[in-house]
């Protein structure tokens, strides 16, 4: 039975890893985690689709620049929509690359290139409520710097970027300590007057919708952020027809069209693929067709529900299963050796302190892959500590008298372990598996940042769109899955207690 379980888990893990790696002839498109990037990824994929042997794979919402760039560099994706200012300052780390030719010269040693300027500039800026701008006379960033009492809420990526807050504060003399916020949530926070100024992309649809005033960059800190395609240099030769089709997008999207497409996604909840399809079909620059807003039930019970549930279940079941196969034998092995046990458990504890996204970024770099494989490894590592710790605790709780009794009966150490120690430690061990499963169900939502699927896809997209209903449509099924797992473990523990209380067969009437 144990051998069959091992074989099943190994096959499941390998199958998940294999499914995460599309074939060589497949176009793999990535996106960052904001509305415009989702839409542009769909535009790129749908433009190339008629010219590829298999449908393009779209890896949506791959987190910030660091993660999606690492996915591109490692070969996990082939291209994504990027911005010239970001390439120059974030990817090339401030190298002098003011022209596309200079950028391509700097990127070539990495096996990357820049091409297909899409036709619009989406720059960084700061914005405030129009009423506050009128009341305080805020027109420029220099004006904002004169009001240190105003609260700034800036996206976490902007706070850490080379072209972000640190340089901006130095250029303008800002003294505020900004609060880190998700880009999508910042609009709601400024509208609710929880903060006074936010960083925005100049093509965001909610600027006009919420009546915000974009402040002039009077000291010319921000560079231009012209939208382009960042791609692997082998792509044009590997998929020449798809590349030729993608080049037809050059100059086709102006700022008005991009704002209109963003508005359809953020204000009307139109799916990204529909927006892209309408634009390519020439539907008034992607903005003329009006569609009814989807209600909460339609989002909760959408056609992707069972697919996301299956992906989430596979991530949790395989990672916890592999953690059991690794953690339990390792805990048994180190249990008799106090120093080694402390060292191994200390290392497992250290793994728990590593931020999920940082660990995923490291795994993408090491494996050269995104999707299920790095997600499964990360979830397995996070599941080890509770399983190992509870295994050690359960073994330590076995009374010494029972250990000696087994020895007196002539049991070998393996027999004593199998017949005495493990059965008595099983309830505590099972509690560790229960904890690991709960952790994995919650942490698996982060896997959506690297294209591994699961209910986190809805949560990530809901954050990007600031769509509470979509957030709940992802969070509620994940919570239901956690409750279901708790119910299953409670039932197993109840059956185990009943079995322990049952009298020996010889005493039954």
pLDDT at 109 over 70: yes
Query: Considering the chain, what is the average pLDDT of its residues?
Result: 86
**DSSP annotation string for 39-107:** HHHHHHHHHHGGGSSSPPEEE----SHHHHHHHHHHTS-SEEEEEHHHIIIIISTT-S--SHHHHHHHH
Where in the chain are all domains bearing CATH 1.10.3720.10? 305-501
Return the minimum-mean-pLDDT range out of 78-87, 289-298, 315-324, 487-496. 289-298
Whole-angstrom distance between the N-terminal and C-terminal Cα of the chain? 32
User: 95 versus 56: which is more confidently predicted?
Assistant: 56
Contacts of 393 (CB under 8 A, 6+ apart): 428
Of the CATH numbers 1.20.1050.10, 3.20.20.70, 3.30.470.10, 3.40.190.10, which one belongs to the domain with range 25-119+226-293? 3.40.190.10
Q: How confident is the model at residue 283 (pLDDT cuts 50, 70, 90)?
A: low
Q: Of 260, 255, 272, whose CA–CA distance to 457 is shortest? A: 272
Cα separation of 308 and 28, whole Å?
Answer: 20
Q: Band of the pLDDT at 508, cuts 50, 70, 90?
A: very low
pLDDT at 30: 94
Choose among 225, 237, 25, 243: nearest CA to 115.
243
Residue 417 confidence (pLDDT): 74
What's the pLDDT at 172? 95
Confidence of residue 377 (pLDDT cuts 50, 70, 90): very high
**Phi, psi of 309, rounded to the nearest 5 degrees:** -65, -45
pLDDT of the residue at 62 = 84
The mean pLDDT value for 419-446 works out to 89
pLDDT at 90 over 70: yes
Sheet holding 152-155, edge to edge: 179-181, 152-155, 197-201, 124-129, 212-214
- State the span(s) of the chain assigned CATH 3.40.190.120: 124-214
Q: How many CB atoms lie within 10 A of CB 85?
A: 20
Lowest mean pLDDT among 115-129, 253-267, 368-382: 368-382
Token match 């769509």: residue?
467
Nearest-angstrom CA–CA distance, 196 and 256: 26
- Above 50 in pLDDT, residue 334? yes
Whole-structure pTM value? 0.78
Helix intervals (H) in 248-355: 255-268, 272-280, 296-300, 305-334, 338-353
Reported as a single tens digit per residue, the pLDDT across 471-485 is: 899 999 999 999 999
Residue 475: Cβ within 10 Å count: 16
Per-residue pLDDT band at 18 (split at 50, 70, 90):
very low
Percent of the chain with pLDDT over 90: 54
pLDDT value at position 407? 67
8 Å CB contact between 299 and 459: no
CA 113 to chain centre: 25
**Collapsed DSSP state (helix, strand, coil) of residue 467:** coil
Locate CATH 3.40.190.10 in the chain: 25-119+226-293
The CATH number of 305-501, from 1.10.3720.10, 1.20.120.80, 2.60.40.10, 3.40.50.300, is: 1.10.3720.10
185-230 tens-digit pLDDT: 888 899 999 999 999 999 998 898 889 999 999 999 998 899 999 9
pLDDT band at 4 (very low <50, low <70, confident <90, very high): very low
Q: Which residue has the tokens 């760039």?
A: 69
Nearest-angstrom CA–CA distance, 26 and 76: 11
Of residues 264 and 464, more confidently modeled: 264
Q: CA 100 to CA 188: how far, in whole Å?
A: 37
Higher pLDDT, 470 or 357: 470
Encode pLDDT of 115-173 as tens digits: 999 999 998 999 999 999 999 999 999 999 999 999 999 998 899 888 889 999 999 99
Q: What is the pLDDT of residue 54?
A: 92
What average pLDDT score do residues 31-42 get?
93
DSSP 351-398: HHHS-HHHHHHHHHHHHT--SHHHHHHHHHHHHHHHHHHHHHHHHHTS
The per-residue pLDDT for 397 is 84
Any idea which of 53-57, 301-305, 427-431 has the lowest mean pLDDT?
A: 301-305
Spatial distance between the Cα atoms of 216 and 12, rounded to a whole number of angstroms:
55
pLDDT recorded at residue 14: 46
CATH number for the domain whose boundaries are 124-214:
3.40.190.120
Asked if the model's pLDDT at residue 8 lies above 50, the reply is no
């Amino acid at each position: 039975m144990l051998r069959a379980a091992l074989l099943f888990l190994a096959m499941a893990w390998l199958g998940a890893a294999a499914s995460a790696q599309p074939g060589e002839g497949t176009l793999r498109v990535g996106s960052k985690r904001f509305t415009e990037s989702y839409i542009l990824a769909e535009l790129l994929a749908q433009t190339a689709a008629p010219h590829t042997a298999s449908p393009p794979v779209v890896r949506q919402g791959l987190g910030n620049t660091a993660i999606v760039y690492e996915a591109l560099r490692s070969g996990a994706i082939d291209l994504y929509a990027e911005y010239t200012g970001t390439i120059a300052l974030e990817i090339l780390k401030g190298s002098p690359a003011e022209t596309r030719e200079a950028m391509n010269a700097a990127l070539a040693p990495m096996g990357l290139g820049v091409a297909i300027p899409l036709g619009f500039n989406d720059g960084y800026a700061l914005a405030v409520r129009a009423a506050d701008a009128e009341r305080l006379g805020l027109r420029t960033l220099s004006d904002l710097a004169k009001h240190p009492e105003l609260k700034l809420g800036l996206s976490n990526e902007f706070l850490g970027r080379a072209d972000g807050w640190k340089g901006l504060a130095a250029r303008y003399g800002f003294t505020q300590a900004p609060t880190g916020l998700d880009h999508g949530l910042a609009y709601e926070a400024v509208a609710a007057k929880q903060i006074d100024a936010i960083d925005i992309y100049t093509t965001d649809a909610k600027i006009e919708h919420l009546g915000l005033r974009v402040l002039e960059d009077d000291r010319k800190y921000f560079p231009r952020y012209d939208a382009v395609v960042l791609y692997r240099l082998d792509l044009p030769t590997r998929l020449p027809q798809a590349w030729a089709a993608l080049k037809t997008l050059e100059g086709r999207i102006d700022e008005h069209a991009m704002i209109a497409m963003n508005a359809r996604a953020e204000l009307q909840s139109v799916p990204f693929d529909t927006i892209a399809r309408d634009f390519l079909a020439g539907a008034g620059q992607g903005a003329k067709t009006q569609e009814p807003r989807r209600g909460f039930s339609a989002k909760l019970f959408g056609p992707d529900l069972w697919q996301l549930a299956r992906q989430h279940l596979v991530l949790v079941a395989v990672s916890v299963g592999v953690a059991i196969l690794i953690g339990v034998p390792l805990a048994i092995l180190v249990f008799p050796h106090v120093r080694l046990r402390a060292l191994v458990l200390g290392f497992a504890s250290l793994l728990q302190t590593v931020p999920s996204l940082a660990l995923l970024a490291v795994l993408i770099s090491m494996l050269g892959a995104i999707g299920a494989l790095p997600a499964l490894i990360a979830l397995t590592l996070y599941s080890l500590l509770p399983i190992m710790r509870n295994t050690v605790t359960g073994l330590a709780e076995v009374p010494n008298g029972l250990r000696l009794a087994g020895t007196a009966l002539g049991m070998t150490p393996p027999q004593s372990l199998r017949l005495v120690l493990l059965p008595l430690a099983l309830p505590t061990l099972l509690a560790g598996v229960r904890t690991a499963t709960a952790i994995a169900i919650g942490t698996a939502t982060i896997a959506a940042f690297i294209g591994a699927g699961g209910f986190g896809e809805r949560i990530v997209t809901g954050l990007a769109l600031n769509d509470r209903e979509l957030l709940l449509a992802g969070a509620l099924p994940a919570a239901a899955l956690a409750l279901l797992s708790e119910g299953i473990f409670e039932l197993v523990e109840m059956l185990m207690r009943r079995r322990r209380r049952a009298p020996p067969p010889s005493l039954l009437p």
